[in-house]
RNA sequence: GACCCCAUCGUCUAGUCAGGUCCAGGACAUCAGGUUUUCAUCCUGAAGACAGGGGUUCGAAUCCCCUUGGGGUCGCCA
């Protein structure tokens, strides 16, 4: 190849569809995408479903949705909305079996690979023994010494077998990594690893090398956990006379406690609770049929719906690790993108807030941080708050409505369009996420008899203390509000403000807070005039009366 | 355990490659004041780090070595 010839940049993200897209994967995809975009290249999505036991079609669909939601589009790959397609498919490994087999055959016929007949159990045992003896386990190459007659006999018997790659020599393998520089792996650290499983599927190591070559991938960008594996990949590439792509291994994302943030964290959290509480039988119908299978091995993971159902039954909060978790929690995709990009990369000059375009224009591997980063939810939340506050009211209302449609349908059902719009707008200034205001807005859709007056310090203070007290203000306000014919924010405001001017020395808070509690049951709501307007006169009057009814109860407990 | 990677405030980082302008800058979190009709915001200020030890150098956060600490890998998972 001519050294000066421009090489087309082609990057790929190759997840295994065994769950939802988690934030680490999302960041890898983001870097792949930005790097390709900036250089006029292509970003390819490939589904690495080489594990039949763990792959599911639904999971791979979830990945596509998550990626699209983040605004990461792919030029080639599974077709979804306006993304995907391409000439280098199929983009599912499970549909490329013939291709892998032809290369396996090639290696086999050239003596660069060989069949082995040990069972997984035998290997497991050998590994255990090696560890017990404080030895590093390496496959002993027993199968390499099998004579052809024996092999033929086993094959004729249909004995399960795998294909192993034969390490060519003892030359150290050096990897040039764009993040880490040059890394050398001693071949003593490797052994004749499996490249074709007994079920006829290739292992990841083999599939990834073949696919990257055939799909013309120029830059392999992936998590640091693959750094050691890369030596294997280079060896396979050499054996097959493939070229070496550029490598870039980015560091991992940690949980706040310093452990690796992993797609298995939810599963781990559930197992911990089950163990702690000594739960023997399935506590939740949804998981009944998977229960014993799940308990059997840490490799067996419940799918996300079942895990969520189990978590609900057990009343445990699952850690937020998936892109979809943050979507539900009301984070804006552009904020997640921004934050994720910053977690492992920095544009310098104290720049922190930026959009996708800026990322594409400025992203480069020489500014990728080598050390792992902890995922800091507080900072993400602060970013989200800033972004939400920077939205126009119209934009916020639209997003709030979309979110509501997906996750809080009851608000759409119970409020009129006008009420809904007003509530959304009233919630804008106090929203940190698209989701957090729903919880404190429940009283808007509750029936009057559902309102429970909290007997907390803040409530008592607002209702019982002062001269006149909050209850006294409410008593006086009730007839005044009843007389308002046009129940709009202006009229409510002038009545309440005039009252406060005459009876609370102009201190609106003295009057607003009792009203707030009367209509909501607690001390938290959107701005008071908006709140009263949305609720409507009848509801407001009715709830003030209800509140006044608990007066004696509240007062009698006030010194307790 | 072996191998690989990494190391600046509690956290994310700027500064490191081209050593002096850094008694180390920003952001989040924290704390103290202030604004505000609640919650949330918002404003002002404070505290807070070059893991340790050796070198090299006139000079080291920056270069080298060791130690320590953290992480990853060691699967018929990816």
Residue A217 lies in a domain: yes
What phi and psi, each to the nearest 5 degrees, are found at residue A260?
A: -65, 130
Rounded percentage of chain A residues whose pLDDT exceeds 70: 98
For position A1, what pLDDT does the model report? 37
Residue appearing with tokens 């609770």: A273
**Domain interval for residue A217:** 96-250
* Same domain, yes or no: A231 and A164: yes
- Which 38-77 positions of A have CB less than 7 A from strand B? 48, 50-51, 54
Span CA (A355) to C1' (B16), Å: 27
Cis before residue A90, ω within 30 degrees of 0?
yes
Q: Are residues A543 and A504 in the same domain?
A: yes
Same-domain status, A128 and A245: yes
Answer yes or no: is A257 CB < 7 A from strand B. no
* Whether residue A73 has pLDDT greater than 90: yes
| Mean pLDDT within A165-193 | 89
User: Do residues A525 and A550 share a domain?
Assistant: yes
Please tell me the distance from the alpha carbon of residue A545 to that of residue A540, in angstroms, as a whole number.
9
| Residue A308 CA, nucleotide B39 C1', distance (Å) | 29
Smallest Cα–Cα separation from A556: which of A464, A469, A472? A464
Q: For residue A557, what pLDDT is reported?
A: 58
In the structure, how far is the CA atom of residue A370 from the C1' atom of nucleotide B7, in angstroms? 10
Give every CB contact of residue A479 below 8 A, 6+ residues apart in sequence.
none
A243-271: per-residue pLDDT in tens?
999 999 999 998 877 777 777 778 888 88
CA distance linking residue A332 with residue A33, whole number of Å = 19
Contacts of A13 (CB under 8 A, 6+ apart): A25, A28, A29, A32, A33, A43, A44, A45, A46, A74
Whether the CB of A470 is less than 7 Å away from nucleic strand B comes out as: no
Is the C-beta of residue A258 closer than 7 Å to nucleic acid chain B?
yes
Strand-pair partners of A368: A345
Give me the half-sphere count of Cα atoms (radius 13 Å) on the Cβ side of residue A164: 21
Burial of residue A98 (CB within 10 Å: 0-12, 13-18, 19+) is exposed
Q: Which of A218, A250, A282 is the last residue of a domain?
A: A250
Banded model confidence at residue A3, pLDDT cuts 50, 70, 90: very low
Query: What distance in Å separates the CA atoms of residue A258 and residue A45, rounded to the nearest whole number?
Result: 30
Do A204 and A304 share a domain, yes or no? no
Match 């409507």 to its residue by tokens: A536
Q: What is the rounded CA–CA span in Å between residue A196 and residue A453?
A: 66
Residue A186, CB, less than 7 Å from strand B? yes
The gap between A114 CA and B26 C1' (Å) is 57
Helix A417-427 and helix A528-535, axial crossing angle in degrees, nearest 10? 170
Establish whether the CB of A432 is closer than 7 Å to any nucleic acid atom in strand B: yes
**Judgement on whether residues A183 and A309 belong to the same structural domain of the protein:** no
Q: Give the pLDDT band (50/70/90) at residue A29.
A: very high
Residue pLDDT, tens place only, A328-355 = 999 999 999 999 999 999 999 899 999 9
A199 belongs to a structural domain: yes
Q: Is the CB of A492 under 7 A from strand B?
A: no
Q: Is residue A337 part of a domain?
A: no
Measuring from the CA of residue A262 to each C1', which nucleotide is nearest?
Answer: B78
Structure tokens at A98: 């013939």
Q: Nearest nt (C1') to A383 (CA)?
A: B28
pLDDT exceeding 90 applies to what percent of chain A? 61
Q: Is the ipTM of this complex over 0.90?
A: yes
Closest residue (Cα, C1') to B13: A346
**Residues A233 and A112 both lie in one domain:** yes
Mean pLDDT is highest, among A7-16, A28-37, A183-192, for A28-37
Q: What is the CATH number of the domain that holds A516?
A: 1.10.10.350
Q: How far is CA A161 from CA A118, A137, A187, A198, A200, in A?
A: 7, 20, 25, 5, 9
Tokens of A471: 């209850």
Please report, rounded to whole angstroms, the spatial distance between the CA atom of protein residue A283 and the C1' atom of nucleotide B37: 47
CB A447 within 8 A of CB A410: no
Instruction: Kindly state whether residues A129 and A243 are assigned to the same domain.
Output: yes
Q: In sequence order, what are the beta bridge partners of A345?
A: A368
Is A117 found in the same domain as A208? yes
- Based on the domain organization, do A307 and A186 belong to the same domain? no
pLDDT of A560 above 60: no
The mean per-residue pLDDT over the stretch A520-524 comes to 92
Protein-contacted bases of chain B (C-beta within 7 A): 1-8, 10-15, 17, 25-29, 37-42, 70-78
Assigned domain for A483 exists: yes
Asked whether residue A2's C-beta has any atom of DNA/RNA strand B within 7 A, the reply is: no
Same domain? A282 vs A233? no
**DSSP letter, residue A47:** B
Nucleotide nearest A15, CA–C1', reads B78
- Burial (Cβ within 10 Å: 0-12, 13-18, ≥19) of residue A483: exposed
Of the spans A133-137, A172-176, A301-305, A431-435, which averages the highest pLDDT? A431-435
Residue A189, CB, strand B, below 7 Å: yes
Angle at A375 between CA A217 and CA A324, to 5 degrees: 70
Scanning every strand, the nucleotide with its C1' closest to A117's CA turns out to be B76
Q: Does some domain include residue A308?
A: yes
Last residue within a domain, chosen from A226, A250, A274: A250
**What average pLDDT does range A478-488 have in this prediction?**
92
Instruction: Categorize the per-residue pLDDT at A44 as very low, low, confident or very high, splitting at 50, 70 and 90.
Output: very high
Return the C-alpha torsion angle A385, A260, A244, A17, nearest 10: -80
A410 belongs to a structural domain: no
At residue A466, φ and ψ (nearest 5 deg) are 90, 165
Chain A residues 143-172, Cβ below 7 A from strand B: 160, 162
Dihedral angle computed from the Cα positions of residues A206, A209, A265 and A66, in that order, rounded to the nearest 10 degrees: -130
Is the shortest CB-to-strand distance from A523 to strand B under 7 Å?
A: yes
Per-residue confidence band for A298, with pLDDT thresholds at 50, 70 and 90: confident
A68 belongs to a structural domain: no
Exposed / middle / buried, residue A430 (Cβ in 10 Å: 0-12, 13-18, 19+): middle
Confidence of residue A463 (pLDDT cuts 50, 70, 90): confident
pLDDT at position A495 over 60: yes
Are A481 and A531 contacting, i.e. CB atoms less than 8 angstroms apart?
Answer: no
Mean pLDDT of chain A: 90
- Indicate whether A304 and A170 sit together in one domain: no
Q: CA A128, C1' B5: Å apart?
A: 26
List Cβ neighbours of A240 (8 Å cut-off, separation of 6 or more): A103, A106, A107, A209, A210, A213
Lowest mean pLDDT among A66-70, A158-162, A166-170: A166-170
CA A34 – CA A32 distance, rounded (Å)? 6
**In terms of pLDDT, which residue wins out, A8 or A136?**
A8
Pairwise CA distance, residues A164 & A172, whole Å: 20
Residue A68 has pLDDT above 80, yes or no: yes
CA atom of A508 to C1′ atom of B34, Å: 20
Q: Is the CB of A199 under 7 A from strand B?
A: yes
Say yes or no: Cβ of A200 under 7 A from any atom of strand B.
Answer: no
pLDDT at A242: 95
End position of a domain, from candidates A216, A250, A284: A250
- Confidence label for A542 from pLDDT (cuts 50, 70 and 90): very high
Number of folded domains in chain A?
A: 3
Q: Is the Cβ atom of A515 within 7 Å of strand B at any atom? A: no
Cβ-based contacts (< 7 Å) between A 101-120 and strand B = 118-120
pLDDT tops 60 at residue A558: no
Nucleotide minimizing C1' to CA distance for residue A188 = B3
Nucleotide with minimal C1' distance from the CA of A339 is B12
Task: Answer for the pair A18, A301: CB distance below 8 angstroms, yes or no.
Answer: yes
What CATH number does residue A171 fall under? 3.90.800.10
């Amino acid at each position: 190849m001519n050294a000066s010839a421009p090489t087309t940049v082609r990057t790929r993200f190759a997840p295994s569809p065994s769950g939802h897209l988690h934030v680490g994967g999302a960041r890898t995809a983001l870097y792949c995408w930005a790097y390709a975009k900036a250089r006029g290249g292509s970003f390819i999505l490939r589904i690495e479903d080489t594990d039949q036991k763990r792959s599911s079609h639904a999971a791979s669909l979830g990945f596509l949705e998550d990626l699209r939601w983040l605004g990461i589009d792919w030029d080639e790959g599974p077709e979804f909305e306006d993304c995907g397609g391409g000439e280098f498919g199929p983009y599912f490994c499970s549909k490329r079996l013939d291709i892998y087999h032809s290369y396996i055959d090639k290696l086999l016929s050239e003596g660069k690979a060989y069949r082995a007949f040990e069972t997984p159990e035998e290997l497991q045992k050998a590994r255990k023994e090696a560890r017990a003896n404080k030895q590093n386990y390496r496959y002993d190459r027993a199968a390499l010494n099998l004579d052809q007659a024996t092999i033929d006999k086993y094959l004729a018997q249909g004995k399960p077998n795998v294909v192993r790659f034969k390490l060519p020599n003892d030359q150290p393998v050096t990897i040039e990594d764009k993040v880490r520089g040059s890394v050398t792996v001693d071949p003593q650290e490797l052994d004749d690893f499996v490249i074709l499983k007994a079920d006829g599927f290739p292992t990841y190591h083999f599939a990834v090398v073949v696919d990257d070559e055939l799909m013309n991938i120029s830059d392999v960008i992936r998590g640091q956990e693959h750094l050691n594996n890369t030596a294997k990949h280079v060896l396979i590439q050499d054996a097959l006379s493939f070229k070496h792509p550029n490598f870039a291994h980015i560091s991992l994302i940690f949980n706040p406690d310093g452990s690796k943030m992993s797609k298995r964290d939810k599963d781990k959290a559930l197992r911990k609770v089950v163990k702690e509480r000594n739960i023997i039988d399935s506590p939740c119908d949804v998981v009944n049929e998977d229960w014993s299978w799940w308990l059997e091995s840490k490799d067996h993971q419940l799918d996300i719906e079942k895990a969520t159902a189990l978590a609900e039954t057990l009343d445990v909060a699952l850690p937020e690790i998936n892109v979809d978790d943050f979507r539900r929690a009301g984070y804006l995709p552009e904020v997640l993108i921004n934050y994720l990009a910053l977690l492992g990369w920095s544009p310098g000059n104290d720049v922190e807030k930026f959009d996708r375009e800026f990322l594409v224009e400025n992203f480069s591997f020489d500014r990728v941080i080598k050390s792992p980063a902890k995922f800091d939810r507080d900072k993400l939340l602060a970013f989200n708050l800033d972004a939400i506050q920077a939205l126009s009211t119209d934009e916020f209302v639209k997003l709030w409505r979309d979110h509501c449609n997906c996750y809080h349908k009851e608000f759409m059902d119970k409020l009129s369009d006008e009420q809904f719009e007003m509530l959304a707008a009233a919630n804008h200034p106090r929203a940190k996420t698209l989701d957090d205001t729903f919880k404190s807005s429940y009283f808007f859709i509750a029936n009057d008899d559902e309102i429970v007056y909290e007997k907390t310090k803040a409530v008592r203070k607002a209702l019982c203390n002062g001269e006149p007290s909050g209850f006294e203000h409410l008593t006086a306000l009730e007839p005044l509000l009843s007389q308002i014919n046009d129940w709009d924010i202006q009229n409510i405001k002038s009545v309440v403000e005039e009252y406060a001017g005459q009876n609370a020395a102009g201190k609106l808070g003295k009057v607003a807070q009792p009203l707030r509690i009367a209509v909501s049951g607690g001390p938290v709501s959107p701005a008071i005039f908006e709140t009263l307007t949305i609720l409507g006169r009848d509801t407001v009057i009715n709830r003030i009366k209800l509140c006044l009814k608990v007066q004696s109860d509240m007062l009698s407990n006030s010194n307790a």
